Amino acid sequence: MDKHEYFFKIASSDEEIEQILRLNYQTFSEEIPQHEKNEQGILVDQFHNENTYIICLKDYEVVGMIAIRDNRPFSLDRKIGSVEGSLDFEVKQPCEVRLLAVKKEYRNGRVFLGLVQFLIKYCLKKGYDIAFISGTTRQLKLYGQMGFQPFAQLTGTGEALFQPMYLTKDTFDKSVAGRLLPLEISFLPGPVQVSKKVMDRLGSTPYSHRCETYKELLDLTKSKLCSLVNCKYVHLFVGSGTLANDVVAGQLSLEPGRGLILANGEFGFRLIEQARRFGLSFDTIEKEWGQPILKEEMESRISSETSWIWAVHSETSSGMLCDINMLKELARKHQLKLCLDCISSLGAVEVDLDGVFLATGVSGKAIRALTGLSFVFHHHEVQPSAKLPIYLDLGTYMCKESIPFSQSSNLLEALVAAMEDISEETYQKIANTHKMLQETLKGYGFKLVSAGKSSPVIITIELPDKVSSVIIGEILSYHGYQLHFESEYLKRRNWLQIACIDNYKTTDLEKMTSLLNRVVTYESGIQLGRFTKTLASN
C-alpha cells in the first residue's frame, strides 16, 4: 500500500472521535482484554476529555491513533508511583502517551512510524521534553524501533502486560524512526532555508566594522547590490524591511507636494501606516487584495500637487506583481518621484531601478541570506537632515560611507556568500517552480488569489469557507511542509500561501501538493458529511 494514501492530523471532528472510541474498543477490549466488552462496541477512555488524539487517516477512515495528555497524575504514576522516581535524569515538562492502536490490516509499520514521527513534532511544538507510555509486551520490538526505552517494572496481569517506557528527542533521533524522519521543507516567504556556505560565513570570527577588511567587504557588497538592480547607490541598515521603508518615509517627509500610495494588499497598507506616522501629505488608491491597480485609476488621482508615488513591487500577501515599467512611464510623464518596496522581489525577479527615486530590499527572503540587514537604493546624492531621527537619516549613512554606527561583520559575510549564488538561473528556477505549482493547484481545483499579473515569488490559495487555513497549515507542517498560514492577515481571509523562492526538488513539490489536495478534500468532506456516508458504505 502506498504510504502517501495516509495522512496524520489532530482529531477535531465528532466523526473522528466516534471512530477513535470504536478503535479503542477493538484494541483494548476485544484484542487486548484490558477492559470488558459491551454491546455498543465503544470504549471511552478515563481521560478522554483531557486527551489530544493524533490519528492516521486513509480516505475517511481512522486506521491508527495515539493519545497525549499532560495532566498529573499520569496513569503510569498510579501504577508505579511518580515516574520521575524511576529515572536517573531530570524531567522538566513530561507528557503521557497512551492508547497507541492500529487496525490489524494496517500494521505494516508505516502507520506506527507516522504516528510516532507526528508525536515527536507535536511534543516539540508543545515544549514537552519526555513522553511516557505503557507499551504492550506484544510489541516491544516495534516500540524500540520507534525510540521508546524501557524503565521500571512490568505492570498489568495475564494477557495484558505492559512495559513502562519513555521517549525523548534524543532516543527518537537515534532510533530507526528518527533516521527515517524526512527533513522539513520550507515554503515560507521568510525566513528561508540558507545554504551551508552562508551558515559557515555567518559563523566566522566577527571583526570590527571600523577595520579595512569590513570596509572592503561592504564596498564589494554594495557594488554587487547596485549591479543586481541597476542603481548608483545603496546603503545597508541593521534591521528589517520595515526599517528601510521608514527611511524612505523619512526622505519623503523632506519632499514638497503630496504623494500617492498604492495599496492592494497587506504591505501596501503598511506603507500607508508608515506614511501617516511620519505625517506625510498623500492620497491613496486602495483596492481589494489581489486586485490590480490600473493605470487609468492612477492617472485620475494625480494632481498638480502630486510629487511622488510609493508602491509595493511584489505584494507578498496576495501574490500580485505590479508593472514597474508602467509606473516608471507614469512617473516620467507626470514628473513624479517613484519609490518602490522591493523587499519580496529582490533576488527573485529581475529588478531594474533605473528611473526609481528610492527602493528598499532585505538580506533574507529571496536573496537567501540571514534576516537582519535591509537596503535603501537611490541614484541621487543625499545630504544629512537634522529633521530626521539620526538612525533613519539616509544622508547620514551617505556622508559616513555607509558606516555611521555599529554593524555586524557576520551578517555581511553571510550576505556576500548568498549573493554569490544569484544568477539568471535563479530567476528561472523560481519562475519554473511557480508555474508548476500554479498549474498543479489549478488542476486540483484550488482557487488562486490574484486577478492581475502574479508574482513568481508566492502563490496564495483562497480556501473554502468551512475549511480552516490554520488546520490545513498545521497538518502540512506536521508532515514536514512549512506553508505560510500563521500571519494574522492570512488567518482573517482564510488564505494559505506557498513561497517559490527556495531550491525544490520536483518530487517534493508533487508530494506537497498531493498531500495538500488530500487534506483539503478530506476536511471539505467532513463538513459535507461524506465521512459518515463513506463509513456506511464499507
Residue 332: all three cell numbers together = 516620467
Domain boundary among 379, 399, 419: 419
196 CB-contact burial (10 Å; exposed 0-12 / middle 13-18 / buried 19+): exposed
- The answer to whether 32 and 136 have CB atoms below 8 angstroms apart is yes
Is a pLDDT exceeding 90 seen at residue 180?
A: no
Domain boundary among 353, 387, 419: 419
Q: At what angle do helices 506-528 and 530-537 cross, to 10 degrees?
A: 90
- The answer to whether 164 and 390 have CB atoms below 8 angstroms apart is no
Q: Is residue 465 part of a domain?
A: yes
* Pair 359, 225 in one domain: yes
**pLDDT score at 529:** 61
**pLDDT score at 107:** 87
Catalogue the long-range contacts made by 202-205 (C-beta closer than 8 Å, 24 or more residues apart): 202/370, 202/410, 202/411, 202/413, 202/414, 203/410, 204/409, 204/410, 204/413
Going by C-alpha positions, the residue among 232, 231, 247 that lies closest to residue 353 is 231
* Pair 442, 373 in one domain: no
Is a pLDDT exceeding 70 seen at residue 538?
A: no
Q: Is residue 187 part of a domain?
A: no
Q: Give dist(CA 181, CA 175) in Å, integer.
A: 10
* Pair 150, 290 in one domain: no
* Pair 438, 406 in one domain: no
Find all residues with CB under 8 Å of 68, minimum gap 6, and list them. 51, 52, 53, 54, 95, 96, 97, 98, 119, 122, 123, 131
**pLDDT (mean) for 327-337:** 97
How do 52-58 and 149-150 pair as beta strands? unpaired
Is a pLDDT exceeding 50 seen at residue 535?
A: no
Helix (H), strand (E), coil (C) string for 57-78? EECCEEEEEEEEECCCCCHHHH
Lowest mean pLDDT among 70-79, 230-239, 379-388: 70-79
**pLDDT (mean) for 352-374:** 96
The per-residue pLDDT for range 439-481, each reduced to its tens digit, is 999 999 999 997 557 889 999 999 998 899 999 999 999 999 9
**The total number of structural domains that make up the chain:** 3
* Pair 459, 334 in one domain: no
pLDDT, mean over the chain: 92
Q: Is residue 480 part of a domain?
A: yes
Reported residue count of the chain is: 538
Q: Give dist(CA 42, CA 150) in Å, integer.
A: 30
**pLDDT score at 451:** 54
Domain boundary among 419, 438, 456: 419
* Pair 158, 205 in one domain: no
Is the full-model pTM beyond 0.85? yes
**Residue ranges with strand state E in 137-205:** 149-150, 155-157, 160-167, 185-186
Amino acid type, 285:
I
Q: List phi, psi (to 5°) of 420.
A: -65, -20
Q: Give dist(CA 91, CA 319) in Å, integer.
A: 46
Is a pLDDT exceeding 70 seen at residue 122?
A: yes
Lowest mean pLDDT among 227-241, 249-263, 513-527: 513-527
Number of H helices, E strands in the chain: 19, 22
Q: Give dist(CA 401, CA 454) in Å, integer.
A: 37
Measured between alpha carbons, how far apart are the two ends of the chain, in Å?
18
Q: What is the biggest distance separating any 2 CA atoms in the chain, rounded to whole angstroms?
A: 92
The per-residue pLDDT for range 478-533, each reduced to its tens digit, is 999 999 999 999 999 999 999 999 889 999 999 999 999 999 999 988 766 655 44
Find all residues with CB under 8 Å of 504, minimum gap 6, and list them. 185, 433
Q: Give dist(CA 387, CA 250) in Å, integer.
A: 9
Q: Is residue 191 part of a domain?
A: no
* Pair 213, 105 in one domain: no
**pLDDT score at 158:** 77
Q: 319-334: buried (b, 16+ CB within 10 Å) or exposed (e) per residue?
A: bbbbbbeebbebbeeb
Catalogue the long-range contacts made by 45-49 (C-beta closer than 8 Å, 24 or more residues apart): 45/98, 45/99, 46/75, 47/71, 47/75, 47/98
**pLDDT score at 206:** 95
Q: Is residue 204 part of a domain?
A: yes
**Enclosing domain of residue 262:** 196-419
The per-residue pLDDT for range 317-331, each reduced to its tens digit, is 998 999 999 999 999
**pLDDT score at 492:** 94
Going by C-alpha positions, the residue among 157, 163, 131 that lies closest to residue 66 is 131
The per-residue pLDDT for range 357-367, each reduced to its tens digit, is 999 999 999 99
Is a pLDDT exceeding 90 seen at residue 146?
A: no
Helices (H), 278-318: 295-301
**pLDDT score at 528:** 61
Q: Which residues pair with 262 in a beta bridge?
A: 285
- The answer to whether 60 and 534 have CB atoms below 8 angstroms apart is yes
DSSP state of 41: -
Q: CB neighbours (10 Å) of residue 514? A: 14
Q: Is residue 238 part of a domain?
A: yes
* Pair 168, 309 in one domain: no
**pLDDT score at 534:** 44
* Pair 438, 459 in one domain: yes
Catalogue the long-range contacts made by 386-389 (C-beta closer than 8 Å, 24 or more residues apart): 387/253, 387/254, 388/250, 388/253, 388/254, 389/250
Q: Give dist(CA 326, CA 334) in Å, integer.
A: 12
Q: Is residue 188 part of a domain?
A: no
Amino acid type, 50:
E
* Pair 236, 138 in one domain: no
Is a pLDDT exceeding 60 seen at residue 173?
A: yes
**pLDDT (mean) for 174-202:** 89
How do 282-286 and 306-312 pair as beta strands? unpaired
244 CB-contact burial (10 Å; exposed 0-12 / middle 13-18 / buried 19+): buried
**pLDDT score at 359:** 98
Q: At what angle do helices 424-444 and 506-528 cross, to 10 degrees?
A: 30
**pLDDT score at 70:** 95
CATH number of residue 510's parent domain: 3.90.1150.10
Q: Give dist(CA 378, CA 399) in Å, integer.
A: 14
Q: CB neighbours (10 Å) of residue 92? A: 8
CATH number of residue 252's parent domain: 3.40.640.10
**pLDDT score at 5:** 80
Q: Is residue 189 part of a domain?
A: no
Going by C-alpha positions, the residue among 128, 138, 112, 139 that lies closest to residue 167 is 128
**pLDDT score at 214:** 96
* Pair 228, 335 in one domain: yes
**pLDDT score at 482:** 95
The per-residue pLDDT for range 398-431, each reduced to its tens digit, is 999 999 999 999 999 999 999 998 988 999 999 9
